[in-house]
Structures are given as C-alpha cells and as structure tokens.
C-alpha cells in the first residue's frame, strides 16, 4: 500500500471553462467577466488543494464468470462484460482512491450561501479539474511501478462508469483503508469529501493492450456528454 502526497497540480483553464458550460472554441463563449472570475478562482484553488492518494495491489484469484473477478480472500468485484474483456490477462488489480480534501468544497458552499454563484460554480469546476489531474498523476505512478516489473496495465475503471455499478464502491472501500487519507463512503456510495475519485486498473503480462495515462473522455462510453473534451 502506498500513500501519495506532495504532487503539484496543474489546472487547465479550458477544462475549467468547459465544466462551467463554456468554450472558447464553440458557440457558448465566456465573456471577459467570466474569464476573470475563472482565473481568480483557479488561483484561489491552488491555496485550497490538499491532495492525497492511496493505492494497493491485490492478486486476482480467478475470473469466476463473464462478470465477476475474485481476489485473494473473499472479495468479489462484479463488472460489466465489456470491462471484464478489457481486464482479460490481468493477474493483479491496482485499487486506488484519491482526494483533494474538503477545503475547496467548503469554500464553494460558502460562496453559494453568499450569493456568489459565478464564483462558486467556477471554483467547483476548478476542484473537478484538480481531482482529475491528481488522479491521473497517481495512476501514472502506479502504472509505472507495474511496467517496471515487466507487466502491462489496462485503462482505469471507476464505479458508476462504463456500466460498472456504483454499489461496487463498497468493495473498494473494504479493500483499501481510504480513511487514512480522510475519505469515507456514505450508505449511498458517495465519497466524502466529494472531490474524490476511486478506480481499479488491471495489471498483467498478458493484457492485450497497455495504457499509460488514458484519456477519460476518449474511453468513456457516454458519447453525448456535454463536458466531453
């Protein structure tokens, strides 16, 4: 098990604007006021991030069916058939949870309560971009570890996406002590702080195709998403 901290985050302004529903390349172009607020909230965000990540390796005991993988011990992941296909050849699963902490979302709530809606929306978008950037960097470190051992890595999968039921968050949180980085799971499988992400990655020498840092949007099956980059 490894805990990751002290990684510098990079906030892409274009992505922050897109999460607000704007684009400098499409029809809905942000005005100068929105651009200024966005820049200011990006700068504020850097003072609020408290990124922490945790991941560990778990040996795969067997593929029980077209939709189930049993790990050593009693834990069983239930995936969609499409995910199982992409995990074919894996002998381990990398399981991870990352967060940027609660300070940013607390500030977002404060801004909303003060009626500062444009700033609240911009800062919330900054948090989304930040946790995605941090997650990508932690995944890259984990995958590099696998590659150095001569293995290939699958793309990452998160509960609630690619046909993987959100209830499987429970298995991730049974496997990994996410409370050590301050992340808990509610009864409805929501992570707190909300700016947190969880994932699994297949590791094995016989995986068909190896991914190093997969693009979330390119691999997502929700093709009509308005936030697609």
- The architecture (CATH level 2) of 2-219 comes to 3-Layer(aba) Sandwich (3.40)
pLDDT of residue 213: 54
> Where along the chain do its domains lie?
2-219
pLDDT of residue 29: 83
pLDDT of residue 227: 37
Residues of the chain with pLDDT under 70: 24-27, 209-229
Buried b / exposed e across 113-144, counting CB within 10 Å, b at 16+? eeeeeebbbbbbbbbbbbbbbbbbbbbeebbe
SS3 73: coil
């Amino acid at each position: 098990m490894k805990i990751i901290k002290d990684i510098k985050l990079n906030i892409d302004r274009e992505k922050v604007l897109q999460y607000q529903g704007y684009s400098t390349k499409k029809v809905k172009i942000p005005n100068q006021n929105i651009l200024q607020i966005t820049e200011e909230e990006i700068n504020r965000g850097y003072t609020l991030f408290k990124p922490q990540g945790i991941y560990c390796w778990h040996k795969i005991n067997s593929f029980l069916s077209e939709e189930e993988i049993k790990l050593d011990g009693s834990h069983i992941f239930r995936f969609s058939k499409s995910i199982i296909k992409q995990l074919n050849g894996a002998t381990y699963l990398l399981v991870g949870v990352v967060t940027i902490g609660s300070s940013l979302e607390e500030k977002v709530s404060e801004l909303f309560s003060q009626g500062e809606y444009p700033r609240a929306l911009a800062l919330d978008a900054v948090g989304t971009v930040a946790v995605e950037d941090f997650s990508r960097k932690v995944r890259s470190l984990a995958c590099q570890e696998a590659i150095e051992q001569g293995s290939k890595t699958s793309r990452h999968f998160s509960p609630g996406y690619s046909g993987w039921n959100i209830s499987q968050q429970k298995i991730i949180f049974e496997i990994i002590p996410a409370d050590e980085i301050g992340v808990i799971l509610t009864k409805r499988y929501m992570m707190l702080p909300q700016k947190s992400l969880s994932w699994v990655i297949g590791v094995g020498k016989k995986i068909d195709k190896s991914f190093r840092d997969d693009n979330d949007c390119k691999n997502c099956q929700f093709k009509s998403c308005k936030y697609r980059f």
